[in-house]
A = this chain, B = another copy of it.
Amino acid sequence: MYKLTDSVPYLLNRAGVRIAEVFAQRIAEDNLSVAMYRVLAMLKERRESTLGDLADVVSVEISTLSRLVGTLAKRKLVSRTRPEDNGRIVIVRLTPQGEALTERLMPLAVELERTAVQDMSDEEVAALKKALRRMHSNLPAISGKGKVAG
């Protein structure tokens, strides 16, 4: 029998919102949003990325990300480049300042995660991550609303 408050989507959202709120508060003094942090952390991980790839990774609309990256660029945390051999795409990279900031913030993310999963074993955490990845891959990406094969 279905109960909203026992359903996976609901519990997922509730935990996700809560953890994002806590992290948002921690990085607010640096005038960063959670999405901004994810962009920075992603670039630290991959060194560089196009806007579209970043949007996929960060789970936000590309138009939102375009403006968000614009803000980060204005603050000299990232650079935007259109390669000569491909004038469509934009390559985003961390600046030294951006890298320094990211390195300073990552420990906060680590600590937050530790707090969140404090009473779970390594196996439980691994199983959780596996389940989260599975659910993501079990569901279709929404491209542009109801535009299907057309």
Contact = CB atoms under 8 A, between A and B. Distances in A.
**In the complex, which range does the number of interface residues on chain A fall in?**
35 or more
A49 B19 CA distance: 25
A50 B133 CA distance: 36
Contacts of A136: 11, 14-15, 18
B135 A18 contact: yes
A6 B113 CA distance: 11
A5 interface: yes
6 contacts: A5-B45, A7-B113, A13-B59, A15-B133, A28-B145, A116-B135
**Pairs A-B, 6 closest by C-beta atoms:** A4-B41, A11-B132, A16-B16, A17-B59, A21-B142, A116-B135
Given A9-B19, A119-B138, 7 more contacts: A8-B117, A11-B133, A12-B12, A18-B139, A19-B135, A115-B139, A127-B128
